Amino acid sequence: MSPEPCAAETALDFTVLIPARLSSSRLPEKPLADIAGLPMIVRVAQRARLSLATRVVVATDDERIFKVCQLHDLEVLMTDEHHPSGSDRLAQCCELLDLPDEHIVVNVQGDEPLIEPVLIDEVARLLVSHPHCPMGTVAHPLEQMEDFLNPNVVKVVLNKDHLAHYFSRSAIPFSRDTPSWAKTENPKAFLSSINALRHIGIYAYKAGFLKGFPTLQASPLEHIEALEQLRVLWHGFDIAVHVTHMTCHAGVDTPEDLDRIRRFFPTNPLK
């Protein structure tokens, strides 16, 4: 008799949800921004479709985004306008799609047109290999001291089982006994020695947990750090973390980011 496949080899069955809101303070109408002839939200969904996901769905509160997705044969849901967070919008999607509680949902941000499809698969696979975890995410090693010290770069510290201890905008872990000269002389070696990790904002959830997330009381740490995932840890749930060494391109927040992203795509508007 053939041995049963391990969790990592089990066929994946998961849904990608892509929240897309039209409003953006730094880049107006960001999801509709043109990238080599296609709106950004379409580019993101196209990348997600290259993953092993069985379904890719855009979740929006705007009629223009809804129509653009329909025009490009993308599955799209219209959600409420006044959700306080992206997680609330995703929770509504799980209800609208009638997803079973154990179904895996991957949240891909609508401003990530260079998201690696393999990374989407890896974060989904986390919840297969860690069945007790209702949530998973991704991190990668930090190599630049300016990133380690930058409060806009979120850091994560793990335990021995690759579960998140804590997320912070501060430089964690703090190495008390490493002299300053050692940190500046070879920052890459120093950051490697303390296993400094940057958190990447892609998440996998069990649909049942996601449905209940809006009912969890917000935590003080969540407000202090402005990091919603701290609500999960505050309430005692585990978050599995996949550490990747592949290049993780930053998303689009500003016009400068959009110019950077456009350089990765062909100039032919029909592609």
Taking only the tens place, the pLDDT of each residue in 122-147 is: 999 999 999 999 999 999 999 999 99
Length of the chain: 271
Q: Does residue 223 contact residue 271 with C-beta atoms inside 8 Å?
A: no
Residues 10-22: what's their mean pLDDT?
86
- Model confidence at 4, pLDDT cuts 50, 70, 90, reads very low
What single letter denotes the amino acid at residue 198? R
Write out pLDDT tens, residues 190-220.
Answer: 999 999 999 998 999 999 999 999 999 999 9
Q: Does 99 have pLDDT greater than 70?
A: yes
Q: Is the pTM of this model over 0.85?
A: yes
Q: Does 7 have pLDDT greater than 90?
A: no
Q: Is residue 113 part of a domain?
A: yes
Q: Does residue 262 contact residue 249 with C-beta atoms inside 8 Å?
A: no
Q: Is residue 2 part of a domain?
A: no
Q: Is residue 42 part of a domain?
A: yes
Q: Is residue 262 part of a domain?
A: no
Q: Does 8 have pLDDT greater than 50?
A: no
Number of domains in the chain: 1
Instruction: At 121, list the tokens.
Output: 């698969």
Q: Is residue 261 part of a domain?
A: no
Parent domain of 211:
10-249
Q: Is residue 240 part of a domain?
A: yes
Q: Is residue 254 part of a domain?
A: no
d(C-alpha 69, C-alpha 40), whole Å: 11
Q: Residue 65 sits in a domain of what CATH number?
A: 3.90.550.10
pLDDT at 25: 62
pLDDT at 5: 40
d(C-alpha 124, C-alpha 128), whole Å: 7
Q: Is residue 136 part of a domain?
A: yes
